[in-house]
Amino acid sequence: MSDPSASEGSGAKMGPMPMQHRIITIAIGAIVSALLSSALVIATAKAGISPGVSPLVVLFGWIACGAYLGPRLRPFLSLLQVTGSGGVAVSAGVVFTAPIVQIFAKNLGIDIPPVDLPVMILASLAGSLIGWGFVGLATERFLTDPKLPAPEAVACDRLIQTAAEHPDHRPPVLTSLAPGLMLGGALKALLHFKVLPDKIATLNLGGWGTGVALPVPLSPVYLGIGALLTVPTALMIFGGSLIHGLATAYSGANEMPDDTYRWVGGAAMCVAVVWSLARYSVEGRRARRNPAPAAGDLDASLIALPPETKRRQMIAIAIGAVGMLAMMGMLGATIVQVAAIGAVAIILAAFLSSLGALLSLQVGASASPVSGTTFMGMLVLSLTGLGVGLTGVSGVTFLVPVVVATCVAVCAANDASQDYKTVQLNGFRVSDHLSGQMVGLAVGAVVVPITLSIAHQSLGGLGSPALPCPQASFFATVLSTLFLDGTIPWGPVLVGAALGVVAVVLEEVGRLRSALLSSLALAVGIYLPAEIGCGIMLGATARFIATRKLSSSTHTGILSAAGLITGYSFTALAVGLAIVLGWDGEIGLAAEYDPSTAVPRTIGGGLLVVTLAVITFNYARKWSPLDSDSAGGEETSV
């Protein structure tokens, strides 16, 4: 590896990494990508939120190689965070959309199909190639705009700087990651075997009709994801849960459909996304009319793409497009359907992936409207499909893989823009890191569908209480209306649109006060199961008690929170794999479970989670090098 001085500042141009060291780093990143993407499939299906992992990957590299690499750590971490985070982007793209098929069938009461592995892997690879290609070609555009704050990239850059300056002062694994992993895994086992109930309590808030009941879950996934979010974002999601409870209570008391809350949340999400797009368009027009001076501390050559690199990006887009067309042919589409839907899908992928990259740098990945932009794309693709003769169950089954490819492209761009900005801030050429990003994406494109299939077979099925897949559940509701001549419930839609306007006003007021109150977070909270918002608020509160940070974020507690999520997910994956291989999923202890002991076990479990979480975050707080303020929170896609 190159040997940059530890004293070189951010933005100083660094020499290229030797090829042998690049290959080793990318190989390590591919392993990290496979592990994290497989673990987060279950977490994303359960919570409807995919936490970004670039800071976590940096911390892992620092822990594993800091003492060995010393001053050579900086280029290693820069390339590792690009490669290791790629698979998680695929995880978000697939889990947000692929379960539509199974949930759609479940809602209709027909046979629920398995996850079509060849089609899902092909869709994931096609989306990865298209997103990687388009965001690569747009690199020079979005990395030269000094008005894009790139909060996660700045935070990750500071973390890498700290690691390079203090390679031996590594994070306290024994007081953060290790207890998080053990607690997350142990709680999943105790919940699976019914030693502990799955809820700490139920908050009865009163309200319309039957009243508003908000379950407080005993889930390390929700606790961990909440700890990765800033408190304002968690509050907005929790506010959405309150609205969810009101909508559910009102619809139940008035004999309205059970999915009423989804239409409320979906309408609010549409308003939030349209506002984000409109505001970005206006600000972009202003920037073009009054261009800001280029940042003086960044070398323009760092983001310049050589002609051969641009050719590779275009070839990747072409291969991805061919793969998407081939996939549609495999599903039995006519030539007209392949031509029409394929053309629209590629145009959408180009527009939405570039837009996703820019929005991620503008508002931060935690507020980037991935599910919202995907929803808009799905509507356009659905109308195109209806126009060329797609109908019924077969029409939805055909359309979903195309939506998966589009969503993966958007999520890949959402992740890549922050990672490339981190590379630029660290003084390395972005073009030297593109191959690492593609390897991470390709690994995720294979691992994620396989993990999703295992989860579907063994953990109750996609769309079940164990794997609610909130985005896919809402999308399935919309497609059922479009493809089965359903009726749009305009009352809930109008209520949701009004709530979306309120959320946008809150976001703009918060912006004036330098607080990120994401309107999309409120909308997502509405169509998430109510207990998710409560669990996320609990996790955010636990981290706040330890860090006393509301909006700005240190990296305190990342390892603790990641341990909770990863420990739970790997235990769930291990249980699922054992069930697929023939285990019945039961032991004697589960059969002896006595519901009459639920109350003391619930209290004990709740106190255990809260106490250990706060203690763990407080131990991590004592680690000084990372306790300086950064520019933003960790990456999260909603």
Q: Is residue 7 part of a domain?
A: no
The DSSP bridge pattern shows strands 213-217 and 50-51 to be unpaired
- Over residues 255-276, the pLDDT tens digits come to 787 778 888 888 888 888 788 7
> Mean pLDDT across the stretch 395-408?
92
Residue 313: the pLDDT is 92
Q: What's the whole-number mean pLDDT along residues 303-323?
A: 91
**Higher confidence at residue 485 or residue 563?**
563
Give the confidence band of 26 by pLDDT, cuts at 50, 70, 90: very high
Sequence-separated (6 or more) residues with CB below 8 Å from residue 282: none
What totals of helices (H) and strands (E) does the chain contain, helices first? 23, 4
Residue 45 within any structural domain of the chain: yes
pLDDT(442) > 90: yes
pLDDT of residue 138: 83
pLDDT at 209 over 80: no
State mean pLDDT over 50-79: 85
* Whole-number Cα distances in Å, 525 to 239, 241, 471, 522, 533: 7, 5, 11, 5, 6
Top-confidence residue, 379 or 197? 379
- Give the highest mean pLDDT range of 40-44, 149-153, 206-210, 447-451: 447-451
Cα 341 to the center of its chain, rounded Å = 26
- Enter the DSSP assignment of 229: S
Per-residue pLDDT at 289: 66
Give residue for tokens 């932009």. Answer: 373
pLDDT of residue 7: 37
- The answer to whether 375 and 476 are in contact (CB under 8 A) is no
Three-class SS state of 61:
helix
DSSP 345-401: HHHHHHHHHHHHHHHHHHH-TTT--HHHHHHHHHHHHHHHHHHTT--HHHHHHHHHH
| 347-361, 501-515, 600-614: which is most confident | 501-515
Q: What is the identity of the amino acid at 638?
A: V
- Give start and end residues of each alpha helix (H) in 470-586: 470-483, 490-512, 519-527, 530-547, 558-580
With a pLDDT cut of 70, the percent of the chain lying above it is: 80
pLDDT at residue 340 tops 50: yes
Does some domain include residue 8?
no
Provide the pLDDT for residue 192: 80
- Give phi and psi for 17, each to the nearest 5: -80, 135
Of 39-48, 210-219, 388-397, which gets the smallest average pLDDT?
210-219
pLDDT level of residue 405 (50, 70, 90 thresholds): very high
Give the model's pLDDT for residue 5: 37
pLDDT class for 227, splitting at 50, 70, 90? confident
In a domain, 128, yes or no: yes
Greater confidence (31 vs 281) lies with 31
**Which region among 73-77, 123-127, 228-232, 571-575 has the lowest average model confidence (pLDDT)?**
228-232
Rounded mean pLDDT of 372-377? 82
Lowest-confidence segment of 296-310, 402-416, 544-558 by average pLDDT: 544-558
Checking if the pLDDT of 302 tops 50, the result is: yes
Give the closest residue to 634 by CA, choosing from 57, 135, 175.
Answer: 57
Domain extent for 457: 19-292+304-633
The reply to whether 638 falls in a domain is no
What is the average per-residue pLDDT within 420-425?
88
Task: Point out the least confidently predicted range of 72-81, 326-335, 349-358, 359-368.
Answer: 359-368
pLDDT range class, residue 120, cuts 50, 70, 90? very high
State which H helix or E strand residue 60 sits in.
helix 54-69
Residue 298 falls within a domain, yes or no? Answer: no
pLDDT tens digits, one per residue of 516-531: 787 888 888 887 888 8
- Concatenate the DSSP letters of all residues of 156-207 into one string: HHHHHHHHHH-TTS---GGGTHHHHHHHHHHHHHHHHTTSS-SEEEEEE---
Q: What angle do CA 438, 435, 75 make, to 5 degrees?
A: 120
Instruction: Write 514-517 long-range contacts (CB < 8 A, 24+).
Output: 514/551, 515/232, 515/550, 515/551, 516/230, 516/232, 516/233, 516/363, 516/364, 516/366, 516/367, 516/551, 516/633, 517/232, 517/233, 517/235, 517/236
Structure tokens at 625: 């090098």
Whether residue 627 has pLDDT greater than 50 = no
Q: Tokens 């918060």 correspond to what residue?
A: 510
- Tell me the pLDDT band of 384, cut-offs 50, 70 and 90: very high
Which of 8-12, 167-171, 486-490, 567-571 has the largest mean confidence?
567-571
- Widest pairwise Cα distance in the chain: 71
Whole-angstrom Cα distance, residue 330 to residue 384? 19
pLDDT band for 77, please (50, 70, 90 cuts). Answer: very high
For residue 273, give the DSSP letter: H
Q: Does the residue 10 lie in any domain? A: no
Residue 473 inside a domain? The answer is: yes
Would the pTM of this model clear 0.95, i.e. be above it?
no
pLDDT exceeds cutoff 90 at 494: yes
Q: Which residues contact 525 (CB under 8 A, 6 or more apart)?
A: 236, 237, 238, 239, 240, 241, 243, 244, 265, 533
Percentage of residues in the chain having pLDDT higher than 90: 21
Between 229-243, 293-307, 350-364, 488-502, the lowest mean confidence (pLDDT) is in: 293-307
Query: Which residue, 74, 91, 244, is CA-closest to 159?
Result: 74
The answer to which of 9-23, 116-130, 218-232, 398-412 has the lowest mean pLDDT is 9-23
Per-residue pLDDT tens digits for 124-146 = 999 999 999 998 888 877 787 76
pLDDT band at 277; cut points 50, 70, 90:
confident
The number of folded domains in the chain is: 1
| Minimum mean pLDDT range among 106-115, 172-181, 561-570 | 172-181
pLDDT in tens, 579-613: 877 776 665 544 455 555 556 666 666 666 666 66
Query: What pLDDT is recorded for position 501?
Result: 94
Give the CB-side neighbour count of residue 90, counting CA atoms within 13 A.
40
Q: What is the mean pLDDT of the chain?
A: 80
Eight-class DSSP state of 595: G
Q: What angle do CA 143, 147, 152 make, to 5 degrees?
A: 65
Q: What pLDDT does residue 318 have?
A: 95
What pLDDT sits at residue 353?
82
Higher-pLDDT residue of 241 and 631 is 241
pLDDT at 67: 80
- Report the candidate in 528, 152, 155 with the shortest Cα–Cα distance to residue 357: 152
pLDDT of residue 370: 77
Calculate mean pLDDT across residues 417-425.
Answer: 88
Residue 174 confidence class, pLDDT cut points 50, 70, 90: confident
Q: What share of the chain is helix, strand, coil (3-state, %, to 5)?
A: 70, 0, 25
Q: Quick one: 250 exposed, middle or buried, by C-beta within 10 A (0-12, 13-18, 19+)?
A: buried
How high is the pLDDT of residue 634?
Answer: 45
Specify the pLDDT at position 591: 45
Query: Above 80 in pLDDT, residue 44?
Result: yes
Q: Would the pLDDT of 630 be above 60?
A: no
